[in-house]
Structure 1
């Protein structure tokens, strides 16, 4: 097996550091939640030690589960907007993950909670394409719940057609999500599936 390079150590450290920051927790709290010591987490963050795949998955789970800060277990439209806004420029796959996490929480929330957390929205995304993506996903999710979408979730077509995940090439044979495609957003249906 090849030795771990300095570049790989630096990338690993930066990635772990980013996950800890995204969690919104202190390093000690993250260490406790993932089942390691604060000193071991510090070694991951410095690149001195490379975490196992299981440890990385635990950190990803923590970073992904802290979205709601409204006292419920479900994210609001504004919390989802804030998370997407923070990441869409430099980390579009993370921004999409935040948006899909908001969608999944909206799907699992009771209808009354969905209305309470998603009917009103204070801010919009600064990028019109990402804003359209959020509006379409919100409208489709509300309809799946048997609810009328919020007034703010009225999307407009993106022009020219846009692919948020530019690192993923879409082949002509790839099924594109039809709800998004009618608004000019090209995302493979499988990229919208979460576990």
Structure 2
């Protein structure tokens, strides 16, 4: 194996270790498959220079977020998926969004941790809401949203049950950026204390 290929393998192995994710989770975060990432790590296939640089940058940001004890998109999706009930799932989603806001305000590059594509929450509505909230927060901070967060509108309206608002009130109180994605959640439910 030539020295340059070995250097690429070493960089990818270091990125994987620094990310603190499994190979499959890190590959998904990078937008590739675990099998493809494995071929990069073995030297059988050569990744682009952009991919190697992105892997290093993303791994470093994920590591920083972990040190700050800040949720990332993959951690948020996992917390929602593992929530014991829907109320807790909402709390985890909003906490993740608030952590993203914190990282975006730091302006130290750690917000790149949210470029990592999350796995599924187990519910299409929550998956879409996580994506739309992420894109909205990046845009509000004048930053380019991660590619994974730029989604098409849901094919059917998602209107989660509300404890005291009726359907028309939910629709009327939904921010436009959510309504455009066919997601209907009152703005007040997105506010944290």
TM-score normalized by the length of structure 2: 0.58
Partner of 2:183: 185
Partner of 1:21: none
Higher relative contact order (CA 8 A, sep 6+): 2
User: Match for 1:161 among 157, 161, 166?
Assistant: 157
Give unmatched runs, 5+ long, in structure 1. Answer: 1-67
Deviation by residue 1:97-124 (Cα, 9 ceiling, x = unmatched): 1111111111112231111x11112523
User: Match for 1:75 among 71, 75, 79?
Assistant: 71
Distance 1:141 1:165 in 2: 24
Q: Any idea what SS the aligned residue of 1:71 has?
A: helix
CA RMSD across the alignment: 2.2
Distance 1:136 1:178 in 2: 11
Distance 1:93 1:122 in 2: 20
User: Match for 1:137 among 133, 146, 162?
Assistant: 133
Conserved 8 A contact 1:177-1:189: yes
Partner of 1:43: none
Conserved 8 A contact 1:92-1:164: no
Q: Any idea what SS the aligned residue of 1:152 has?
A: helix
Q: Does 1:113 align with 2:110?
A: yes
Conserved 8 A contact 2:77-2:118: no
Give unmatched runs, 5+ long, in structure 2. Answer: 1-63
Q: Any idea what SS the aligned residue of 1:172 has?
A: helix
Q: How does 1:12-31 map to 2 (within 5 A)?
A: none
